Structure 1
Amino acid sequence: MNKTTEYPNQTDGVYEIKSAGSGTKTFVLWREVVMAYASPAIMAGIGGLVTADKGLQLGALTTIGGTSAFLALMLGLWLRSRGGHKGWIIGAPHLVVVGLFALVGATFGLFAAWATSGLLEIMIPSNHLAWVGRVWIDFPLSGFIASTIVTWRWRLAVTTNFSSKRRR
């Protein structure tokens, strides 16, 4: 009788180590939102430190990071619920889909900047808030970055899962 069949290892399957390409990738929304916040916020914060621009340092944590996180959350929720049902999103080339969503994210950011600056102009006519002038750059750029990150990673997860199911 074989020793391994007589006394099976109690830890089999508990401490499995998977290689980098062995498992299917999953799309975890909270990780994508954190990445969408952290990536542009860190880069803009570094840019603010290098140029000694206090407005950019503050914008990195608020308008840049916040807009990116919000847009990543909204887009990620939509992609999880409706994105897989749209055949053109999965069927089109990866770069085309990411490019289209990046343009839509930047356009949404422009619309948000227009709405924010317009509403604040009505509510606060003197426009003493320094960050209002920054939203015309921060919101579209954040929308572009967040849409690119989320769509790229979602599409990789979907195509990886789709191709691994097709092979079985």
Structure 2
Amino acid sequence: MNQMKYSNQTDDVYGIKAAGSKKKTFVLWREVVMAYAAPAIMAGIGGLVTADRGLLIGALTTIGGASALMALMIGILLRSRVGLIRWIICAPHLVVVGVFALAGSSFGLYAAWVTSGLLEFIIPSNHLAWVSRVWIDFPLSGFIASTIVTWRWRLAVTTNFSSKRRR
């Protein structure tokens, strides 16, 4: 009996699902891997089609890297106590996703400003062609990663929350 009680607590805290369970879980490492791979592949295809070497390099560095970093940060934030705030759980799905998407793109814009400012201070900008790309790559990657991670997290929370209500 005590082992069963411990198992249910573990399921709730760590998002572990039993074999055959219909619960959707939010697994952060999978979200981070997909946040890197999906935009990197799409931008890489775009770079191949347009024969843009800068886009090919950006796909693997600034686009994929910024997306993965943003997904990691948003995922950690949502899995922490912030994800338990009532308005995040109870507000309409699109409102929560929109707020986090706006926050992600704002953070990406801030990161682009800091990155370009620091690198221009250290190294002249004519030596680093990719620095001009961060003004598009970072905010766009932040927006996309925040939207997808928040959407998937919210689906998992809503599914788990509604299944617990039925018990």
TM range (shorter): 0.7 to 0.9
1:67 corresponds to: 66
Question: Any idea what SS the aligned residue of 1:27 has?
Answer: coil
The offset of 1:83, in angstroms, is 3.1
- 1:26 matched to 2:25: yes
- 1:161 matched to 2:154: no
The offset of 1:48, in angstroms, is 0.6
CA distance in 2, matches of 1:145, 1:82: 23
The offset of 1:43, in angstroms, is 0.8
CA distance in 2, matches of 1:82, 1:129: 40
Distance 1:17 1:85, change over 3 A: closer
1:57 corresponds to: 56
- 1:42 matched to 2:41: yes
* Aligned-pair identity (%): 81
Q: Which has the larger radius of gyration?
A: 1
Deviations 1:87-113 (A, max 9, x none): 111111101111111111011000000
Contact residue 67 and residue 143 of structure 1 kept, 8 A: yes
Count of aligned pairs: 150
**Which one has the bigger helix percentage?**
2
TM-score if structure 2 supplies the norm length?
0.86
The offset of 1:82, in angstroms, is 2.0
Deviations 1:110-161 (A, max 9, x none): 0000000000111113531010000000000000011011100000000000
1:81 corresponds to: 80
Deviations 1:53-101 (A, max 9, x none): 0000110000000000011111101100123321111111101111111
Structure 1: give runs of 5+ residues left out of the alignment. Answer: 1-15
- 1:107 matched to 2:106: yes
Question: Any idea what SS the aligned residue of 1:140 has?
Answer: helix
Distance 1:34 1:126, change over 3 A: closer
CA distance in 2, matches of 1:120, 1:153: 35
Contact residue 117 and residue 132 of structure 1 kept, 8 A: yes
2:97 corresponds to: 98
Question: Any idea what SS the aligned residue of 1:127 has?
Answer: helix
Please tell me the residue identity of whatever aligns with 1:96: V
1:117-128 alignment to 2 at 5 Å? 117-128=116-127
TM-score if structure 1 supplies the norm length?
0.85
Structure 2: give runs of 5+ residues left out of the alignment. Answer: 1-17
CA distance in 2, matches of 1:133, 1:77: 29
CA distance in 2, matches of 1:125, 1:53: 23
CA distance in 2, matches of 1:51, 1:64: 17
Contact residue 84 and residue 90 of structure 1 kept, 8 A: yes
Contact residue 39 and residue 64 of structure 2 kept, 8 A: yes
CA-atom RMSD, angstroms?
1.4
